[in-house]
Structure 1
Amino acid sequence: MTAVPSPAQYAWQEAERSMFIHFGPATWQGREYDDGSVPVKQINPTQLDTEEWCRAALAFGAKRIVFVAKHTGGFCWWQTDTTEYSVKNCPWKGGKGDVLRELSQSCKKHGLRLGVYIYPGDRTWGAYIGGGGKTEDPSLQDAYNEVFRTQLTEVLSRYGEIEEVWFDGSCVIEVGDILERYAKNSVIFQGPYASIRWCGTERGTMPDPAWSSINKKDLETGTATVVQSDPEGDTWAPLEVDTTLYNHFWFWSPENAKKQKTLSDLMEIYYHSAGRGGVLLLNTSPNTDGRIPAEDIRLLERFGKEIDRRFAKPLAECNGEGNELVLELEEAAVINHVMLMEDIRGGERVRRYRLEAEVNGAWQEIGAGFQIGRKRIVVVEPVKAERIRLVIDKAADTPLLRRMAAFFVKCEDHAALLTAQNSVSLVYDPVTDSWVSPGEGERVLAWNAEDVHEKKFMFDVDISRIVTEPGQYELKFLTEGSAALRIEKLEVLLERQVTDGVLSVIKEGSCYNLTRTSAVEDAQGGKTGVRGCIECLGEGERGSLTVKKIV
């Protein structure tokens, strides 16, 4: 049976665009991760204006704001007694301010939905980055669990309906009862109760295809991403595409603000996120005054207007059911874009399709693909067509086509968009029964008989030079000749700390997916490592480990 969205998932996915807000002590420190180096008494955003934040979101068509109420450092932007490291000890509004309350009121006024990012870890408790709330000192775990549970309860119970809850890097603290009570109609990002997934990269793009369905057992790991997508999966879990406005920084600083993306960058991101069925989560970064810089707001306004200019008025559109749909044009016209949409309330049913244009009475193919999903923007070579035809060559059930629309878009980036679209993102690998990126990985480790003792080979290798940014990475163990192996132990170290929940199996014993969600602040060694033990089987004792970026 085809997986279908819940009402909450459907409403969330229909929004298409959301605005992220990263704002905290790291803004004053000029860092991406709060290290506590700036005293709370110096955090005083005297011009903070949540009305402005909402206007910025509306400027590019966002329907939702996701606010980072607590980041890795543990600082809380709402009134709480769980920590002294919070807004209550800031001079802003005499320590009585509550950013989350002001934002919730502004969102309600402007018709925006509200989501909250609350990091499960906390520097002040030694709950390390990427650990999902696990403390380095086990004796502190129970006490910290209670602190985090209280914080989550406060955030979800005081500020009206929270549509989206973000647990960056999963959550190992049990919070199911809290979510059931206060967030029953929310979508959850990561953690064992996840109902939406990460796209696997912070570049602002999704691979192609990027199915919205997945197997439930994979989703329940808490760290499932686009890599675990399965068109035949039994559970709906759509994809969110988070990316920065500054390339590539989440928090404002005078230097970061100089790295603003261009309008062309943002349009490419739109095509490869919302245009591939995902939800775009575009970050904004208020400065130390609490204001979103005017230059950033102007860019967001231009972004929203450009989306409307391109796609608000189609040459023609239609809808229907079945394996063929023909779009009639009033008269022959040049087109260079086609927008396809399935009615995803019935799931993603299309598995392979072709687009054809009727030119001088004859049909010619102008595009093809596997997935349509909620939205598929297909860039085509300019063609003067009399009609457009969609042919579904393979489907899991009767296709439900919500929309087929043709456009002619005047734009300088058409050739670049067409090239990017036609480059292969993922290919199906029947050996591992998964969608993988083409190409070979880089060898990071090799062993032979001299390295093996009593059929065992212990290894500890730094792969930081390859894992240079958040994303998905393939670890593949290869053997030579008649050699065979069994993975007896395999661990990932982030910042030299063993981190659970970031490895998933692609093919047992030989191929694994590593998910890094935390930023890589510099190129120093020790940022990402792999260690373990291999048991060598058979007669040969030679092999290697390769690593490559998947998305």
Structure 2
Amino acid sequence: MKEECLPKPNRGQLAWQDMEMGMFLHFGINTFHDQEWGEGTDSPSTFDPTDLDARQWVHMAKAGGFKYVVLTAKHHDGFCLWPTKTTDYSVKYSPWKDGKGDVVRECADACREEGIGFGIYLSPWDRHEPCYDNKDLYDDFYCDQLTELLTGYGPLVEIWFDGAGSEGREYDWARIMNLINKYQPNAMIFNMGAPTIRWVGNEDGLAPYPCWNTAQAARQSIFTDENTKWLQNTPRWVPAECDVPIRRGQWFWHPNAEHNLRSLDELMDIYYRSVGHGAGLLLNVSPDARGLIPDADAKRLIEFGIEIRRRFNDPIASTAGCGYKIDLHLKSSAYMDHAIIMEDIAYGERILKYKLEAKQGDDWILISEGSAIGHKKIDKFKKVETDHIRLIILEADADPIIRELSLYLVDK
């Protein structure tokens, strides 16, 4: 493939891929009814968090190393976490703050204070809204809601469109995309419409390997014929995002369910198989009925951030370069068991096959190998002692450009 023909990310996609990890916040009327999917019939009077603190949510996100937050502004039940003018099914008609509260505002402000990106989830499927069955009326209704969110809450890094419940339904995606392009042109679009980020294909937080960044590869790997109509409108470059709840099987908070909290080892395995496969990780953490992230979940987030930093903040050695062989000479022999390799994806995803070798005396031994590198590849291998590592590119679509090759000793 000629260099000029390679798919390449736009500026927004480059910035988004560098963030690597976001926190999903599922919070809403379901939180107060011990349920995942409400039917849109629960009274707004039941939404009444006693100690809601969005700053605590965002502080925990930052402690865990997350660079952006995505809040469920409206889930499938139709209840809105901002005082929308479109419906009486919102926080405006709840007892919380005497109907004068705005969860979206509080979360957006907290993100700006902490220097964290802010995104919104707005479910296209609405089980409460009476006009949902009238396509034209609901398209107007939905676009009005979206416009309120696009114009009222500052810069958005991501807009999350969930396809659940919308099978067979056609929304006015051209109109929706025009609104985003007008008001939030730098926001990434997840999953539907003309997405700039694709769903990885599961809710386990796991990207397959290889996980290529091109739309053509995405079609071949996870998308069905039913989805391809809107995928035809995607850019040629469309990276994957891996969504997963920190409590197994639970997106919203449920009482007495701490036993479902994932262990630190589970979270690290997810990290290796999402970020470590070149995808983004969107980890869901659910505030409880108080409006706070539960203590156990908050503790696990802090542990997760500390462990990632422990493993990968202090490389033994690093280099960068161009070409089919990259040598990394150490000042002295050292033990290592991990490598991080990154392409400069601003120029496209070029590498198709590689191997990593360590010098042992006069010989070279294979310590890892793979196909895709893309934004990032984390390789774990048997501990080896050496003073010379080389990365050899075996196949590529164009001259390889290595942004980073770093070595680590994790299991000391």
TM-score relative to the length of structure 2: 0.92
Q: Which residue of structure 2 aligns with residue 142 of structure 1?
A: 136
Contact 1:88 1:97 in 2 (8 A): yes
- After TM superposition, give the deviation of residue 222 of structure 1 in Å: 9.2
Q: Which residue of structure 2 aligns with residue 301 of structure 1?
A: 302
Distance 2:337 2:380 in 1: 6
Distance 1:406 1:82 in 2: 54
- Alignment partner for residue 149 of structure 2, among 155, 161, 164? 155
- After TM superposition, give the deviation of residue 234 of structure 1 in Å: 7.4
Q: Between Structure 1 and Structure 2, how many residues are aligned?
A: 394
- After TM superposition, give the deviation of residue 382 of structure 1 in Å: 1.2
Change (3 A) 1:217 1:50: closer
Contact 2:29 2:46 in 1 (8 A): no
- After TM superposition, give the deviation of residue 125 of structure 1 in Å: 3.2
Asked if 1:110 is matched to 2:114, the reply is yes
Q: What amino acid is the match of 2:53?
A: D
- After TM superposition, give the deviation of residue 36 of structure 1 in Å: 3.8
Q: Which residue of structure 2 aligns with residue 166 of structure 1?
A: 160
- After TM superposition, give the deviation of residue 39 of structure 1 in Å: 2.1
Distance 1:259 1:167 in 2: 26
SS for the counterpart of 2:128 is helix
Change (3 A) 1:197 1:234: closer
- After TM superposition, give the deviation of residue 221 of structure 1 in Å: 8.4
Structure 1 segments of 4 or more deviating over 3 A?
215-224
- Alignment partner for residue 95 of structure 1, among 99, 109, 120? 99
Distance 1:323 1:120 in 2: 47
Contact 1:162 1:186 in 2 (8 A): yes
Residue by residue over 1:434-480, the C-alpha shift from the partner in whole angstroms, topping out at 9 and shown as x without a partner, is: xxxxxxxxxxxxxxxxxxxxxxxxxxxxxxxxxxxxxxxxxxxxxxx
Distance 1:178 1:198 in 2: 22
Q: What amino acid is the match of 1:165?
A: I
Distance 1:358 1:41 in 2: 68
Q: Which has the higher helix share?
A: 2
Q: Which residue of structure 1 aligns with residue 397 of structure 2?
A: 396
SS for the counterpart of 2:186 is coil
Change (3 A) 1:162 1:242: same
Q: Which residue of structure 1 aligns with residue 44 of structure 2?
A: 40
Contact 2:354 2:394 in 1 (8 A): yes
Residue by residue over 1:300-355, the C-alpha shift from the partner in whole angstroms, topping out at 9 and shown as x without a partner, is: 00000000100111111111000000111121222111110111111111000011
Contact 2:139 2:171 in 1 (8 A): no
Distance 1:21 1:322 in 2: 42
* Structure 1 runs not aligned, ≥5 long: 128-134, 412-551
Between 1:80-89 and 1:63-72, the stretch displaced more is 80-89
Q: What amino acid is the match of 1:263?
A: L
Q: Which residue of structure 2 aligns with residue 316 of structure 1?
A: 317
Distance 2:130 2:368 in 1: 52
- After TM superposition, give the deviation of residue 256 of structure 1 in Å: 3.2
Contact 1:215 1:234 in 2 (8 A): no
* Structure 2 runs not aligned, ≥5 long: none
- Alignment partner for residue 56 of structure 2, among 34, 52, 68? 52
Matches within 5 A, 1:261-340: 261-340=262-341
Q: What amino acid is the match of 1:152?
A: L
Q: What amino acid is the match of 2:87?
A: T
Asked if 1:11 is matched to 2:11, the reply is no
Distance 1:192 1:290 in 2: 32
Matches within 5 A, 1:33-432: 33-36=37-40, 38-125=42-129, 135=132, 137=133, 140-169=134-163, 172-174=171-173, 175-215=176-216, 223=227, 235-410=236-411
Contact 2:39 2:77 in 1 (8 A): yes
Q: Which has the higher strand share?
A: 1
Matches within 5 A, 1:481-492: none
- After TM superposition, give the deviation of residue 37 of structure 1 in Å: 5.2
Contact 1:22 1:250 in 2 (8 A): yes
SS for the counterpart of 2:88 is coil
Q: What amino acid is the match of 1:16?
A: E
Residue by residue over 1:264-293, the C-alpha shift from the partner in whole angstroms, topping out at 9 and shown as x without a partner, is: 000001101111111110111001110110
SS for the counterpart of 1:67 is strand
Residue by residue over 1:478-530, the C-alpha shift from the partner in whole angstroms, topping out at 9 and shown as x without a partner, is: xxxxxxxxxxxxxxxxxxxxxxxxxxxxxxxxxxxxxxxxxxxxxxxxxxxxx
Q: What amino acid is the match of 2:398?
A: D
Distance 1:186 1:256 in 2: 34
Q: What amino acid is the match of 1:93?
A: K
Q: What amino acid is the match of 2:100?
A: K
Change (3 A) 1:386 1:92: same
Q: Which residue of structure 2 aligns with residue 492 of structure 1?
A: none
Structure with more relative contact order (C-alpha pairs < 8 Å, separation 6 or more): 2
SS for the counterpart of 1:88 is helix
Greater gyration radius: 1
Distance 2:24 2:337 in 1: 32
Contact 1:5 1:344 in 2 (8 A): yes
Q: CA RMSD in A?
A: 2.1
SS for the counterpart of 1:215 is helix
Distance 1:357 1:254 in 2: 51
Name the % identity.
Answer: 39
Contact 1:44 1:90 in 2 (8 A): yes
TM-score relative to the length of structure 1: 0.69
Distance 2:8 2:110 in 1: 33
Q: What amino acid is the match of 1:339?
A: I
Distance 1:122 1:234 in 2: 28
Distance 2:359 2:92 in 1: 66
Distance 1:181 1:307 in 2: 38
Residue by residue over 1:209-260, the C-alpha shift from the partner in whole angstroms, topping out at 9 and shown as x without a partner, is: 0001123995998946xxx9xxxx9711111011001001100011333310
Contact 1:2 1:234 in 2 (8 A): no
Contact 2:196 2:235 in 1 (8 A): no
Residue by residue over 1:351-408, the C-alpha shift from the partner in whole angstroms, topping out at 9 and shown as x without a partner, is: 0001111011211111111100111000111111221110001111111101111111
